[in-house]
Each structure stands twice: as structure tokens, then as C-alpha cells.
Amino acid sequence: MSLRRKKGLPEPAAASPAAAGAHYASPNERYPKDRYKGDVQETARQRLVITAMLLVVAFTAIAMRMSYVSLLRGGEEPTERVAARGGPIQSERADIVDRNGIVLATSLPVVSAFVNPHLVIDPQDAARKIVSALPDLKYDEVKAKLESDKTFVWIKRGLSPREHDRVNRLGIPGLDFQAEERRIYPQGTTAAHVVGYASIDNTGLGGIERYFDRQLQSGQTVQLSLDLRLQRMVEDEIAHAVQKFSAIGAQAIVMDASNGEILALASLPTYDANKARTITNQALFNRATLGVYEQGSMFKVFNTALALDSGKVSLGDRFDASKPLKIDRFYIHDDPEVPHRVLSVPEIFKYSSNIGSAEMAVEVGTDLQRAFFDKIGFLKPLHTELMELGSPLYPRHWAKINTMTIAFGHGMSVTPLHVVMGVAAMINGGIEHWPTFLKRTAESDPGRRVIKVKTSMTMRQLMRLNAVEGTGKKADLKGYEVGGKTGTAEKVANGGYAKKALFSSFVGAFPMSDPKFVVLVSLDEPKGTKETGGYATGGMVAAPSVKVIIEDIVSLYGILPGDWNDRPASLEISSRPMPATGVRATPAAARGHRNEHKALPLRPGEQLAAPPGVRRASVE
């Protein structure tokens, strides 16, 4: 008998068999099969539902993206083409064409060879075979690609059909092909600086290709204002001039003065976008839009227009150019061929007098001069469809001495495209149009007035006078009323000027009774010849090329001399010597200019080593 029973206490309840033998129970008792079988099935069912939902979301996203792209492209379908392997591919990058629809840039279907090195059995043997089929590749480079740890390596992109056939016949495991597009430039080097070029992945890297990259990728064709026929003529002529005068480079522009369309633009040296790997930085440089230069006496077009338009100078005014003009410790000289006497405004323009131009600028004043160049867009980069645009350079502190030197094209640097745009505005009635490389409708750019109609009419007469009797006679073409202005500037070098390194230009226009075409040619560091008497000025080396280009224009478009007979005749401007009575003289010319610098007498032709902002006059 237990002690609890002796004391009259109840016995504790016996443990249940399950609890007592829990530690020793069999597996079947501990883990019922039916119960866990249901749990596993439920879990699998939940996973299937989740997976299905994720797939629905993914396909919905893809469908929405495809709908978005279709709407974004405005319903335009890309052209379907067939790859070399026979499979269809989509042409994503659209064409660039000239004003007449001739293709300047297009995309063609090609295939590219790639390899999965992990599938190559014998890299050395495979490399030898590939190089035998593609001789332009190097064995060591191909072998290194085949032995790499990557799963995808390009062997060569953009295979020709013949190359594709040779590589395909090798039968190398792991070597395959991918359909792609290759950008092709059918015209080669023609208009290269305008059209630009694209990368191997069809991304625009320069020119129109870069500016309209998104539009071209969306399948929208870009039509330019260039006329391919004229473009080739212009390039041929300046290439001839570079060779004849041993220049290091050249540029030329032809603009429609009535609306700002660029009909031709060339820069030498140039490049072939089909051979992108051979393009050098020197060849990429667009001298017409990116090059910033002191333009020399061509600036007298703007100085004269400003003086007349301001009302401070009239056509009949006279200025004393009988002796050098003193400014600070320097002197402004004229070329020995310029009459050293009193000159009228037409004579100052005709003979390209630096002294007379500087005196006219002083009459106008610094504030008006700066405001004028700002109004015509010479103090900022141009707005056009190229991204390779140079920023003008001008005095930070625009002092009187800057006003005088800028009058004849020194102390301020702009691009040749600035000059063409500005000259067009000076002669087309006073309306300035921003230059464009796109074919423009009449309503797309009404332009803005920058000078009076009367001033513009006078500038036509002065430019015509310069081509008939002045420094631009080598550009005159009988029967076509050519007008123009020369410009020769010494290039800046080592803080001064390189006396024999010239930037020689001529800007011409015709017909001056109703200007339609503006033509500018510039040669970089030309050398004089026996034919030019050793001179390499704009009138000697650039004006003849402008004449040839004008001949090309009238021949190309079938323009006859009689076509201008129904237009107002050019007015004659007297350029006979004027009497010395009533001559205007600036304070600097009459009394000299006092300052802390010592006067340094200079002879014509000597270089002015000047403080910042002071420029030596370049003469014609």
C-alpha cells in the first residue's frame, strides 16, 4: 500500500499511453501520411498561382510597351528588310537626303559574327581558320577572344556578303551570326561635315546624324537644304584652290539670301564616314561652323552698314586717310595701294581703307557698335541644326581701341557661317534669317529686321562697286551683277600675329539688284604664286574661287544674264577723289591719343605687338 493511500490521499492519474510512450512511438504514429500529403499539394497549388500571376504581369507590361512605342512613332512602320541569313529585321534608322531627295545616308542590313568561347573545341585551330577567312583580323587577337571566359564575344561586325559566306563555311562550333544594320554614306566624303557620321551601333556622333539622332532612330527621314550637285562643285573648287595655293585648309559656304537655307557647305580637310576608324581630329574639324577666326576686312561690310544705319555717317561724308591713325602707342596703317588722302565713304569701302573704317567707327561710338553686333548675332553661337558650333570671341572690356580695330576685322573672331548670315542680312533688304540646313518653307522663318531698307540698298551698291573697281575685281562675272568684299587677317600665334600665316577670304553675292546667293570662300595659310605676284590676300586667292562657284551656280540652275533685266539696275556710286574741305577727323586722328604708353612708329606692313585687345590692321 502506498504512502498516499495510507494517509487517505487520492492516487495521481495514470499517464496516457501516448504521452508515456511519446518518445518511443513509431514514425507512422508521429507523422500521419494523410495529413501532410494535403499540405504539400496546397503549397504547390499556391506556387503555381503566383507564377501564373507573374507571367500575366510580365506579358501585360510587354504589351503596354509595344503599344507605347507604336503610338510614339505616330503610326509609321519601319521598313522591313531581310538579313543575310534570310530572317527579317526592322530598319530603325531613317535616311538623310538632300533637297532633291538624293540619299546622303542610309542603313543596310548586314550580319555580324560572334562566338561563345565555351563551345569552341580548339581555339588555336579556330583562330587560324577565322583569320584565313577574314584577313584583316589579327591571329593573336582572335585567339585571345576564343580563349576568354566570356560567353559572348564579337569577332567582326558588319560583314560583307562574301565575308559572311566564307566564315559560315568554316563550320566552327560556337561561331554564329546576328542580323544588324550598318550605316552607309553613298556619297563618300561629299558633305561629310554636314551629314556627320554614326557609330557601329547606329548612334549619331556628328553633324545631322547627331543633331537628329532621336528623329532618325524613330524612322523619320531628314531632308536637308543642301543641293548635292552644287555641293560637289564647291568641294572640287576649294580642293583645287588648296592645291594651287598650298593652303593647309579651306572652307566654303553658299547660302540663299532670301531665307537662310544653306545650299552647300564644305570644309577641308574632310573625311569618309564609311571609314570611321580612319577619321582624324583634324579632318573632323568643321572650319565653316566651328572655326572661329578674325575675318579681316570683310567686317567693313558691317562697320559701313552700322555707320550708315545709325545716321551718324552719310554716304557723302569724307574722312582723312592721308596719314596713319594713332591710337595709344600704336598706329593704324593702310596698304600702300590705298590713296593716302581724303576718302569718301564709297572710296573707303572700295579701297578697303583701315584708317577710314576706324574713323567711321569712332563717329558711331563703342556702345552702338557693340549693340549692333549683338543684334546681328555675332556675340553668341548660332542657332542651327549642327552641334559643332564655335563661340565668338570679343573684348571683355570693349574700349575705344577695340572699336577701331573691330571696324576692320581685328579684335573680334566669329565663324564663317556668322559672316554669311550677316552679309545676307546687309543686302537682302535688312532681314536676318538664322542659317538652316533643312529645306525651309517660305512661312517657316519670316526673319527679323536688323537694318533699314535704305541702308541695305546702299550696301548692295557698295559691294557692287568693290567687285567692279575695288579689291574684289577677280570675283566679277560679266552680266551677273556680282558684289563682294575681301578679307585678309593674320592668324593669332603665341600672343601676337603670325605675319605670313594668313586667313584669306572673299564673300560675294549676286545679283546685287536683287540678291539671291551669298558665297564665301576662305583659305587657311595660302601661299602666293607668280600669278598673284607673291600675294596671298583674299582678293588674290579666294575671290577667283568665288567667281568659279558663281559660274557653277548659273550653269547648274540655268540662269542667264538677261534674267535680271526686269529688275532695278544697280546704281552707280562716284568714287572720284573728294576735295579736302569739310573733312571729318576723329579726336585721335586730329590730336593724337595721350596715355602712359610711349608712341611706337610703325611702317606699313610691320606687325603690331599689342596689349590684349589691340589688333594690327590687315590690308588688301
Is the per-residue pLDDT at 601 higher than 80?
no
**Identity of residue 527:** K
Question: What tens digit of pLDDT does each residue of 476-488 get?
Answer: 999 999 999 999 9
Q: Which triple of cell numbers denotes residue 589?
A: 586722328
Beta strands 342-344 and 318-320: pairing type?
A: antiparallel
% of the chain residues with pLDDT over 90? 68
For residue 529 the three cell numbers come to 604664286
Task: Give the torsion sign (CA, 555, 560, 563, 564).
Answer: positive
CB 569 within 8 A of CB 302: no
Q: Is 510 helix (H, G, I), strand (E, B) or coil?
A: strand
Query: What is the per-residue pLDDT for 21?
Result: 40
Residue 61 has a pLDDT of 73
Every domain of the chain and the residues it spans: 88-224, 231-271+296-591
Judge whether residue 149 has pLDDT over 50: yes
What pLDDT is attached to residue 42?
74
Residue 596: what pLDDT? Answer: 28
Q: Which three cell numbers stand for residue 47?
A: 506556387
> In the structure grid, which three cell numbers stand for residue 581, read together?
574741305
Give the integer Cα–Cα distance in Å for 131 and 113: 13
Quick: pLDDT tens for 532-591: 999 999 999 999 999 999 999 999 999 988 666 554 443 333 334 444 444 554 433 333
Cell triple for residue 228? 548635292
Return the DSSP state at 436: B
Q: Which CATH architecture describes the domain 231-271+296-591?
A: 3-Layer(aba) Sandwich (3.40)
For the whole model, what pTM was predicted? 0.76
Q: Find, among 592, 233, 207, 101, the residue nearest to 437 by Cα.
A: 207
Give the catalytic positions in this structure.
297
Cα(153)–Cα(582) distance, integer angstroms: 83
Q: Does domain 88-224 have CATH number 3.30.540.10?
A: no
Say whether 231-271+296-591 and 88-224 share the same fold: no
User: Which residues are registered as beta bridge partners of 96?
Assistant: 105, 222
What value does the mean pLDDT of the chain take? 83
Strand, helix or coil for residue 5 = helix
C-alpha cell at 116: 561563345
Q: Determine the residue type at 52.
A: A
pLDDT at 289 over 80: yes
Q: Given the DSSP bridges, would you call strands 88-90 and 80-82 parallel, antiparallel or unpaired?
A: antiparallel
Least confident span in 157-166, 346-355, 512-521: 157-166
Residues 6+ apart with CB under 8 A from 385: 208, 211, 212, 436, 437, 438
